[in-house]
Amino acid sequence: MLNALDIRDQVRLDWLDYQQLVAILSQYSKPRDRISALLADGSLVRVRKGLYVFGERYRRAPISREVLANLVYGPSYVSLDFALSRYGLIPERVEDVTSVTTGEKKVFTTPLGVFSYQPLAVRRYAQGIRWTVDGDVHYLIASPEKALVDKVWTDKRFKSAAKKDFEAYLLDDLRLDEELLGALDKDQLARLAEAFGSKKIRMLVDFLAGCHE
């Protein structure tokens, strides 16, 4: 009988999809029954339908939630509050992994945490994404500049009327680090403003340009 270690020996990473599982369990007449048994004893954990990770005692290393965020719903990349926190732009530690997608707005509550997705038009999506390699894994995450632009764009609470409004919003509301704001790449910000084609983002970029002076 194949156990979790037998399955793990046949895959490179600590997560796998339903098709991989069925192929590995092809010796069983009813592989779904074996999957159910592995889930019941904790050898496998279902993240969402069709996506599984090994139970904690069978993992080679801690599971990358950034990788899972890319896999849970896509196309997507990690951005918004989670990325801003990771880059140190905001002081809060953000537990929920926030992402941007070309699909629909979604929230997935899983055994490995909450993964949320905000929609973004295709023409605004690709600029500013980083392909990040972390040991044996890789995932898509926004650059600091893109994470901030995504946050401003998707935050419906903030409706800017003038460039001066951004100071209170960025520094008082979001509590962004002023020194790191001033260090953002102004050329990338300009490219993002062009890709978004939005007055709101153009005013943001103009405000941030003043932080470089």
User: Among 140, 113, 123, 99, which residue's Cα sits nearest to residue 193?
Assistant: 123
Fold of 4-58: Arc Repressor Mutant, subunit A (1.10.10)
- Would you state the pLDDT for residue 134? 84
- Domain positions in the chain are 4-58, 65-211
User: What is the DSSP pairing of strand 137-142 with strand 129-134?
Assistant: antiparallel
Yes or no: say if 193 and 129 are a contact pair by the CB < 8 Å rule.
no
Phi, psi for 2 (deg, rounded to 5): -75, 130
| CA distances, 56 to each of 60, 62, 159, 207, 209 (Å) | 9, 8, 44, 46, 47
Tell me how far apart the alpha carbons of residues 116 and 98 are, in angstroms, rounded to a whole number: 5
* Mean pLDDT to the nearest integer, 16-42: 96
pTM: 0.93
Write out pLDDT tens, residues 186-209: 999 999 999 999 999 999 999 998
Q: How confident is the model at residue 211 (pLDDT cuts 50, 70, 90)?
A: low
Burial 57-68 (b: 16+ CB within 10 A, else e): ebbeeebbbbbb
Distance CA 204, CA 40 (A): 50
Q: From the DSSP assignment, how many helices (H) and strands (E) are in the chain?
A: 11, 9
pLDDT at 25: 96
Topology annotation, domain 65-211: Beta Polymerase; domain 2 (3.30.460)
